Amino acid sequence: MTVADIPDLIRQSRETVVLTGAGISADSGVPTFREALSGLWKRFDPEQLATLEAFERDPALVWGWYEWRRESVSMAKPNEAHSALARLEASRPRTVVVTQNVDDLHERAGSKRVVHLHGSLFTPRCAHCGTRFQFDATVPVEPRDGRRIEPPRCALCGGRVRPGVVWFGEPLPSALWQEAQAAAATCDLLVVVGTSGLVQPAASLPTIARRAGALVLVVDPHPTAIDGISTRCLRGRAADVLPALVEAALA
């Protein structure tokens, strides 16, 4: 198989799954999880801020960090890679994006079928009863690096609202994980973009797809743990490679 064959594979695919990680949002200026510990947050370890125990111990500290992350993401814009995947889905509705990212850049680019395995910064919920909390869209977005912010309270039960992400020690939402597994098991092409392939269980999805007979394509500027089972690896930035592939496939 050559690089020239890949647009044909995308064009001929009946069901395509795209697994994305932090690398696809890097060109939008969204830092990775550990890189997000910048400015005044550098004095903390991620595991001090990304656990249920940390939230219960100091909810204002944890909520403040996640609000800073949410506000930083809100000011970022989808890049060419996000837009390319949205165009692919618009042309081929049986395309699904499974992402490990907690930003909303896929949705803002226009993707409709997005499975957030690790949750989202934009879907907080009550830590007690699970009721979804809606942010006030009229409140201006301002980065608040290092500020402690008391979490809002649930309108239903009065419990503290927590970030809508999966923390260390928590399982993936079962319904979303089952959806992702089913998509991987039934697709004929799985494209892995911007993820090292080290974070489980998401890293098992390419193996599930490969065992079911699907082709696996890796797009990443660096070697990944998935390269060994992939059909083809394309080295390069997602924002450069994906638009070219999708444009050729839809031509």
Active-site positions read 118
Report DSSP letters for 8-37, one per residue.
Answer: HHHHH-SSEEEEE-HHHHHTTTPPPTTTT-
Structure tokens at 119: 């949750």
Contacts of 2 (CB under 8 A, 6+ apart): none
CB 108 within 8 A of CB 79: no
Find tokens 């200026």 and name the residue: 29
CA–CA distance, 76 with 137 (Å, rounded to integer)? 16
Which residues sit opposite 161 in a β-bridge? 126
CB atoms within 10 A of CB 129: 11
Cα separations in angstroms, 156 against 71, 120, 164: 25, 21, 17
